């Protein structure tokens, strides 16, 4: 089994050269054998086939619908600014100046949206993506679930100082049993688990096999996300340092389900998605037991992610109603403990922190974001009154591979919109 998305030669084809429309993946009835993108052989997660797959996950593995609700879609106002594409910036490494659209190409963007004061000022689609095609969110999903969990804290259904084992007896003997809900939310647990996508032996791939995100192969461990997290052991002391481990979010999804008595996907649907005036249903990848992949399974359209981001930017107010309490948004913006975060060594995020499954940048504009591997982003800049959504299919997983161009580009757009 090859994990070629992270172990690649240096001479990668460009975004244009790997455009799935040009390459003709899955064209024909049936497609030519050389143009197939399949689940069982892992070609869906192999570049450049992944550029087609990331907009077609529902055709590859089981999913659960996230209903958009019965009401009308919330209409965006358009005030497109033709000069945004030419906005330039200098990458973090001091390399040659780039434009916004050059950054999108360099990060293999599939779609990009910029909202300013709630109006659409930029919207583009590339490759296999379109206005009405859901795209895999990967770990942006965490911020949705973290927001739901924060709502349950606000309502007293969850308590941040209680131990996971008090809610989930199934995890008492695991590494999570004596972690607090807050430590789960802010990822300061100490769990023996590797999320290094460059290492084919990392735990993250067994987790993916357990949940059916990858084919089982020679994996013989427990079935399902919850079964897998119950096998993980403690390594060190909880609460001492930030350590990004997606399994925390699976535990969070389980906590949400346990205290509400509902499937966690349906809680997300009822409390957030159906209240956004979304244009489309979203969907979430599920394991063989029907459990949604809380850490990364949400698939949704560009504009609907924009609605979620704009709702958060507005302090939880959206479409004439309060979706999320303003105190929750304020808590996210204040961030977590930057000293604990610094121990993780994210060189592209100096001074940052993590709170309620959101990345808090602690830059002068107070930006914070939902982030997912291969280039997924909802970037919220309160000072510039701006929301950026980028969906992408970068061949490398970790955001550290392209933060050096992404983050300066976001700041350049913020400066441009703030000083027209």
> What is the C-alpha to C-alpha distance for residues 190 and 22, in angstroms, rounded to an integer?
45
Secondary structure letter of residue 407 according to DSSP:
H
Q: Is 139 a catalytic residue?
A: yes
Task: Report angle CA 169, 218, 211 to the nearest 5 degrees.
Answer: 40
The helix-helix angle for 264-271 and 140-155 (nearest 10°) equals 80
Segments in 87-135 forming alpha helices (H): 100-106
Selected catalytic residue, list 43, 50, 139, 143? 139
Two tokens, residue 45: 């997660």
Locate 327 and state its tokens. Answer: 């105190």
Separation of CA 325 from chain center:
22
Q: Residue 405 has which token pair?
A: 């161009």
Contact 22, 64 (CB under 8 A): no
Distance CA 275, CA 267 (A): 12
61/213 Cα distance (integer angstroms): 8
20 contacts 128 by C-beta, under 8 angstroms: yes
How far is the C-alpha of 369 from the C-alpha of 159, rounded, in Å? 24
**Residues noted as catalytic:** 139
């Amino acid at each position: 089994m090859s994990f070629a998305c992270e172990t690649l030669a240096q001479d990668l084809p460009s975004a244009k050269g790997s455009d799935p429309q040009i390459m003709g993946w899955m064209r024909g009835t049936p497609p030519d054998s050389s143009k197939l993108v399949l689940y069982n052989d892992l070609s869906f997660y192999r570049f450049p086939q992944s550029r087609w797959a990331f907009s077609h996950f529902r055709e590859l593995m089981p999913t659960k619908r996230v209903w958009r609700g019965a009401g009308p879609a919330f209409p965006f106002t358009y005030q497109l600014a033709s000069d945004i594409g030419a906005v330039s910036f200098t990458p973090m490494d001091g390399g040659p100046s780039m434009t916004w659209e050059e950054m999108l190409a360099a990060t293999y963007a599939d779609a990009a949206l910029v909202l300013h004061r709630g109006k659409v000022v930029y919207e583009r689609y590339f490759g296999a993506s379109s206005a009405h095609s859901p795209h895999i969110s990967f770990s942006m999903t965490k911020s949705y679930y973290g927001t739901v969990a924060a709502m349950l804290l606000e309502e007293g259904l969850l308590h941040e100082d209680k131990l996971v084992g008090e809610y989930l007896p199934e995890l008492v003997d695991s590494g999570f049993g004596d972690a607090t809900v807050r430590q789960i939310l802010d990822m300061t647990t100490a769990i023996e688990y590797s999320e290094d996508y460059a290492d084919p032996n990392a735990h993250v791939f067994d987790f993916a096999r357990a949940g059916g995100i990858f084919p089982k192969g020679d994996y013989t461990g427990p079935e399902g996300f919850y079964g897998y997290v119950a096998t993980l052991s403690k390594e060190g002391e909880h609460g001492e340092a930030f350590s990004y481990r997606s399994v925390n979010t699976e535990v969070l999804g389980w906590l949400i389900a346990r205290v509400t008595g509902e499937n966690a996907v349906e809680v997300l649907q009822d409390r957030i998605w159906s209240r956004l005036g979304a244009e489309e249903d979203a969907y979430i990848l599920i394991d063989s037991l029907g459990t949604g992949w809380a850490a990364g399974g949400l698939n949704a359209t560009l504009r609907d992610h924009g609605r979620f981001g704009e709702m958060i930017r507005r302090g939880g107010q959206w479409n004439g109603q309060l979706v999320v309490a303003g105190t929750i948004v304020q808590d996210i913006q204040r961030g977590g403990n930057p000293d604990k975060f610094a121990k993780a060594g994210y060189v592209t995020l100096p001074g940052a922190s993590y709170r309620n499954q959101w990345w808090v940048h602690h830059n002068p504009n107070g930006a914070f974001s939902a982030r997912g591997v291969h280039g997924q982003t909802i970037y919220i800049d309160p000072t510039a009154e701006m929301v950026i959504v980028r969906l992408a299919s970068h061949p490398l997983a970790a955001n550290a591979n392209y933060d050096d161009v992404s983050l300066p580009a976001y700041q350049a757009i913020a400066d441009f919109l703030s000083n027209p």
